[in-house]
A and B are shown apart, each in its own frame.
Chain A
Amino acid sequence: MTTAAVLAILLPFAAAAAGLLGSRFPKGLRGGAADAAANRRAAWIAIVPTAVSTLLTIWLAYSIRTGQAAGGGDWLSRFTGSAGTARVATASVAVDTGSVPISIGLLVDGLAATIAVLVTVVALAVQVYSVGYLRDDRRYPSYSAFISLFTSAMLLVVYAADLLVLYVGWEVMGLCSYLLIGHWWEDRANSRAAVKAFLVTRIGDVGFLFGVFVLGTAAGGFRIADVLAKLPELPPGTILAAALLLLAGVAGKSAQVPLYTWLPDAMAGPTPISALIHAATMVAAGIFVVARLYPVFLASGPALDVLAVMAALGMLGAALAALAQDDLKRVLAYSTISQLAYMAGALAVGSRDAAVFHLITHGAFKALLFLCAGAVIHAVGSNLMSAMGGLRRGLPVTFAAMTIGFAALAGLPPASGFFSKDEVLAAVERSLSAGHLAAPVALLLYGCALATVAVTGAYATRAWLRTFFGERAPSGLPGTAVPEPGPSAALESAPPAAVHEAPPVMRWPIIVLAVPALLLGLPGVLHIHWGTAVLSVALALLGAGAVHTVWRSDPRRDPARLLGPLRRPCERAFSVDALYRAVFVRPTLLLAYVVARADGRVVDGAVRGSGRTVTGLAGLVRRAQNGNAQLYVTGLLAGVLLLAVGAVMLG
Chain B
Amino acid sequence: MNWLPVALLAVPLAGAVLLAVPVGSTTRERWFPRYGLAVSGVALALSAALAAAFDHDDPARMQFVTNLPWIPGLGLRFHLGVDGVSLPLVLLTALLTFLCFAYLCRGRPAGSGRAPAPGHPATPPPGSPSTPSPGDSPGAASGRPSEPVGGGRPRALVFTLLVLEVGMIGTFLALDLLLFFVFFEVVLIPMYFVIAVWGGHRRRAAATKFILYTLLGSVVLLLGLLLIWAQTGTLDMTALARAHGTGMSRAAQILAFLAVGAGLAVKTPMWPLHTWLPDAHTEAPTVGSVLLAGVLLKMGTYGFARIAVPMLPGGATVLAPWLGAFAVIGIIYGSLACLAQRDLKRMIAYSSIGHMGFVLLGFAALTPAGFNGALFGNIAHGLITALLFFVVGSIKERYGTAEIPSLGGGMLARLPRLGSVLTFAAVASLGLPGLAGFWGEVLSLLGAFRPAAGLPRSLYLVFMALGGLGTVLTAAYFLSMLSRVTHGRPVETVHAPVLAAVGPADTGGTGDMGHTGGAGNAGSGEGTADAGNAGRGRGYGRRGIRDVAPHELVAWVPLMALILLLGLWPKALLDVTGPVARSLLGAP
Contact = CB atoms under 8 A, between A and B. Distances in A.
Contacts of B212: 611
A168 B441 CA distance: 13
A99 B446 contact: yes
A28 B529 contact: yes
Contacts of B447: 98-99
Interface stretch (B4-12, B393-401, B532-540): B532-540
B538 A202 contact: no
Interface size range on B against A: 35 or more
Given A210-B468, A603-B272, A186 B488 contact: yes
A32 B442 CA distance: 45
Interface stretch (A171-179, A363-371, A396-404): A171-179
Contacts of B340: 589, 592-593, 595-597
A188 B274 CA distance: 35
A259 to B, nearest CB: 12
A470 B369 CA distance: 65
Given A26-B524, A28-B533, A206 B469 contact: yes
B479 A592 contact: no
Given A95-B570, A98-B370, A98-B578, A31 B527 contact: no
B342 to A, nearest CB: 9
Contact of B527 (A25, A104, A164): A25
Contacts, number: 180
A186 B410 contact: yes
B581 interface: yes
A30 interface: yes
Interface string A191-227: 1101100110011001101100110010000000000
A30 B487 contact: no
A184 B443 CA distance: 36
Given A99-B367, A185-B412, A588 B339 contact: yes
A26 B432 CA distance: 30
Interface residues of A, number: 64
A606 B213 CA distance: 13
Contact of B521 (A27, A100, A172, A182): A27
B475 interface: yes
Interface string A563-601: 000000000000000000000000011011101110100
Contact of B582 (A27, A98, A198, A592): A98
B458 to A, nearest CB: 13
Contacts of A30: 529-530, 533-534, 537-538
Interface in B509-551: 520-521, 524-530, 533-534, 537-538
B528 A24 contact: yes
B464 A99 contact: no
A592 B533 contact: no
Most chain A CB inside 10 Å of its own CB: which residue of B278, B333, B341? B333
A197 to B, nearest CB: 10
B-side binding surface: helix, strand, loop or mixed?
Answer: helix
A555 interface: no
A209 B442 contact: yes
A29 interface: yes
Interface string A440-474: 00000000000000000000000000000000000
Contact of A98 (B367, B438, B472, B571): B367
B337 interface: yes
A480 interface: no
A335 B143 CA distance: 72
A603 B275 contact: yes
A28 B520 contact: yes
B141 interface: no
Nearest to A203: B472
Nearest to A25: B527
Given A98-B368, A99-B450, A210-B468, A595 B333 contact: yes
Contacts of A185: 412, 483, 486-488
Contacts of A191: 483, 487-488
A372 B379 CA distance: 48
Given A97-B369, A98-B443, A206-B471, A29 B537 contact: yes
A607 interface: yes
Interface string B440-483: 00110111011000000000000011001101110110011001
* Residue among B274, B427, B434, B480 with max Cβ neighbours from chain A (10 Å): B434
Given A206-B468, A217-B450, A28 B527 contact: yes
Given A95-B574, A98-B369, A171 B433 contact: yes
Give the 7 A-B CB pairs with smallest separation, nearest first. A98-B368, A98-B369, A592-B339, A25-B527, A596-B340, A185-B487, A168-B433
Given A171-B433, A206-B472, 12 more contacts: A27-B530, A29-B530, A29-B533, A29-B537, A98-B369, A168-B434, A175-B427, A182-B483, A195-B483, A198-B475, A217-B449, A595-B340
29 contacts: A24-B527, A26-B524, A28-B528, A28-B533, A96-B575, A97-B574, A97-B578, A98-B373, A98-B447, A167-B433, A172-B434, A186-B488, A194-B479, A195-B479, A202-B471, A202-B472, A202-B475, A203-B472, A210-B465, A217-B446, A217-B450, A588-B336, A588-B473, A592-B336, A592-B340, A595-B333, A596-B340, A596-B341, A606-B272
Interface of A: 21-32, 34, 93, 95-100, 104, 164, 167-172, 175, 178, 182, 185-186, 188, 190-192, 194-195, 198-199, 202-203, 206-207, 209-210, 213-214, 217, 588-589, 591-593, 595-597, 599, 603-604, 606-607, 611
